[in-house]
């Protein structure tokens, strides 16, 4: 997989971050619709209900994930990229780094940094871009974990309502019927 600082490691880390955020965005859209049918479940308020009421989560979706998704990840917004490039102040500009001639050992530094700058938005605090990115990585990871836990709790409650009983100590490949 490569270390975090290798071209492959850096590319994998950025791509994983963007993919995780794409999953959070699509999951958020789904959960908003699920509320119509599952809001009365006991697991809803502390799980998805709490996430949907969390201002930091809503801000992440609206102000970071959606703009990046709409202008960098799924569609290229030329104006957004032009603005990010105009604001890019690192000198020298590194377009690509790599190790040897092998495919997979190249990392397109500038493209990923521009995508991250659109995701992160303008900085109004003292965090440097790398520190701001680390904070964003942690925030996304923490919300993804909360999202998965909320989903697990809702699924478990739904299965119990359908007559399935929880069982402890089963091997991962063991299937249990109703």
pLDDT band, very low/low/confident/very high, at 166 (cuts 50, 70, 90): confident
108: nearest Cα among 4, 19, 12, 17: 12
Specify if 42 maps to a domain: yes
Annotate 86-145 with DSSP letters as a single string. HH---SS----EESSS-TT-EE-HHHHHHHHHHHH----SS--HHHHHHHHHHHHHHHHH
Is pLDDT above 90 for 160?
Answer: yes
pLDDT in tens, 116-137: 777 777 665 555 666 777 888 8
Is pLDDT above 60 for 178?
Answer: no
Specify if 167 maps to a domain: no
Specify if 117 maps to a domain: yes
Specify if 54 maps to a domain: yes
Cα within 13 Å of Cα(145), Cβ side: 5
pLDDT in tens, 63-77: 888 877 777 666 666
pLDDT in tens, 4-61: 666 667 778 878 888 888 899 999 999 999 999 999 999 999 999 999 999 999 998 9
Q: Which residue has the higher pLDDT, 51 or 177?
A: 51
pLDDT in tens, 72-113: 666 666 787 788 788 777 777 788 877 777 666 777 878 877
* Per-residue model confidence (pLDDT) at position 118: 76
* Per-residue model confidence (pLDDT) at position 145: 95
Domain that holds residue 84: 7-156
Specify if 131 maps to a domain: yes
Is pLDDT above 50 for 1?
Answer: no
* Per-residue model confidence (pLDDT) at position 40: 96
Give the total number of structural domains in the chain.
1
Q: Which residue has the higher pLDDT, 62 or 3?
A: 62
């Amino acid at each position: 997989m490569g270390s975090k600082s290798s071209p492959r490691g850096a590319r994998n880390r950025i791509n994983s971050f963007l993919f995780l955020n794409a999953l959070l965005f699509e999951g958020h859209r789904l959960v908003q619709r699920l509320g119509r049918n599952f809001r009365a479940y006991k697991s809803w308020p502390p799980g998805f209900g709490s996430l949907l009421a969390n201002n930091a989560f809503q801000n992440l979706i609206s102000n970071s994930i959606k703009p990046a998704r709409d202008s960098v990840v799924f569609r290229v917004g030329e104006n957004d990229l032009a603005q990010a490039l105009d604001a890019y102040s690192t000198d020298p500009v590194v377009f690509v780094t790599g190790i040897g001639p092998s495919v997979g050992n190249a990392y397109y530094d500038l493209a990923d940094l521009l995508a991250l700058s659109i995701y992160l938005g303008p900085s109004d605090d003292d965090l440097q871009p790398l520190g701001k990115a680390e904070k964003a990585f942690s925030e996304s990871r923490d919300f993804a974990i909360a999202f998965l836990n909320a989903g697990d709790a809702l699924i478990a409650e739904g299965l119990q309502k359908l007559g399935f009983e929880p069982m402890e100590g089963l091997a991962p490949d063991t299937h249990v019927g109703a």
